[in-house]
Amino acid sequence: MTTLSVPANHPQRYILNNEVHARPCTSLYSPERTTHLALIMSHEQQAQEREALSVLCERYIKSPPAPGTNHFSADLGPFRLRWEQHGEFSTYTFYVHGPFSDPFAETALQVVPAEWLQSLPGQLIVGCHAVIMQSDEQGADLDDVSPLFSDNTLIGSEVSGGAAQVFTDFRIHADGFGRILIYDRRLRSRQLGRLLQRMFEIEVYRMMALLAFPIAKRLLPVLTDADQRLLCITTGMSQANSDEALLLDDLTGLAAEVEHSQSSTQFRLGASQAYFRLVGLRINELREERIRGIQTFAEFMDRRLEPAMNTCASVERRQITLSKRIARASQLLRTRVEITLERQNQKLLESMDSRAKLQLRLQETVEGLSVAAITYYAVSLIGYIAKAGKAAGLPIKPELVVGISIPVVALLITVGVRYIRRMVEKSQKPTT
């Protein structure tokens, strides 16, 4: 083969290309018993489960999953294992091939070491047994299927263009596990693997979506109370004699509570909608055809799951809307407070201006009194000097000298005081 000269590869080229081939479906052949576990885990627990997988592989002399991988499949002899690690949870699927007498009495989980199962970290959110049985074109007899599900209401349909029939009741039975029954008419091995994986994913995504429902129910009265509190605050804002500082404190406290509630529940409520969409996609991929007398998977989800998801979506929208309303009310109240402060500042400036004018008048009055007082003392000194001159024999009339000096001294003192005031005012002007 001739090697062609091409530009250098992007460092992520092969990784991105192989991503669409990650986690391939398992090839299955009926009859088959499987058990599917989904465990919610923290990041710390996800590191611990790798150690648990290594212990299991070591027990059956198999290579453990490589570091950094998020899926792993292995034939361990008595059973086959498929492990996948997702963002919030990890799944374990155990397969056992071969005939069986009672579909759900002999489960795949019975051959898995019990002490190893108990060592797994995390909390079980889904546990489900699935059984695949060979069937002819006539399909299952509902009278035989119903007792396998404790005579509960059956949900099922023909899938994959009528190549198989699937039944479940979406209930947790006495052993703590759900049940799925697949009648294989003419599915290929890969088709059967994809069908089983879709059924498990429907169950897991359904439960993960419902995790938000208790949160939504808890938030409903909280949001109603917050709505009423906001109504009281906005009503107070419309009144002219309301205490704006108190209203602003109440509004700020309410905004903090709503933002805390939204930030602590936003991820869970948003994730529930994403999981709900995945449930719908997986059901569409089944290509259901109705079996007379029982509900299809789509009908069951529309009647039972969609109302809960609508409640979660409604709560999420109410939180967002309430947060926006509080933000608008806060902006209006702050604007009102700013206008009030501006009016107060304007009145304060007018008062200061009035006081400055009054002070100027007082200052002018004081200046006049000061001129009179200084003139009086200066003329008195001149009078004493004139009397002294007369006593010394000078031809001076003290009374005449005092009378003539009064206007002259008063004029000089007035000019001097005004000069000093202009110098002071000039020194207080800001320099450019």
pLDDT in tens, 17-75: 776 666 677 889 999 999 999 999 998 898 899 999 999 999 999 999 988 888 899 99
213-266 confidence digits (pLDDT tens) = 999 999 999 999 999 999 999 888 888 777 878 888 899 899 999 999 999 999
Strands (E), 170-317: 178-184
Three-state secondary-structure class, residue 57: helix
Query: Cα 68 vs. chain centroid, distance in angstroms?
Result: 29
Residue 316 CA: distances (Å) to CA of 262, 264, 270, 304: 8, 12, 8, 20
For 306-338, the pLDDT digits (tens) are: 999 999 999 999 999 999 999 999 888 888 777
Determine the Cα angle at 31 with ends 129 and 190, to 5°. 90
Neighbours of 227 (CB within 10 A): 13
pLDDT recorded at residue 77: 92
HEC profile of 331-386: HHHHHHHHHHHHHHHHHHHHHHHHHHHHHHHHHHHHHHHHHHHHHHHHHHHHHHHH
Task: Dump pLDDT digits (tens) for 349-393.
Answer: 888 888 877 776 777 676 677 777 778 778 788 877 877 877 777
Place of tokens 């809307």: 321
C-alpha–C-alpha distance, residues 115 and 241, integer Å:
72
Averaged pLDDT for residues 390-411: 78
How far apart CA 146 and CA 54 sit, in angstroms, is: 40
Question: Do strands 178-184 and 164-168 pair parallel, antiparallel, or not at all (unpaired)?
Answer: antiparallel
What pLDDT is attached to residue 1?
Answer: 52
Q: How much is the average pLDDT of 286-309?
A: 94
Terminal Cα-to-Cα distance of the chain (whole angstroms): 86
User: Tokens 């885990």 label which residue?
Assistant: 41
For a pLDDT cut of 90, what percent of the chain falls above it? 57
Return the pLDDT at 358: 79
Neighbours of 38 (CB within 10 A): 27
Considering only CA atoms, which of 267, 256, 292, 162 is closest in space to residue 215? 267
The two beta strands, 178-184 and 123-134, are parallel
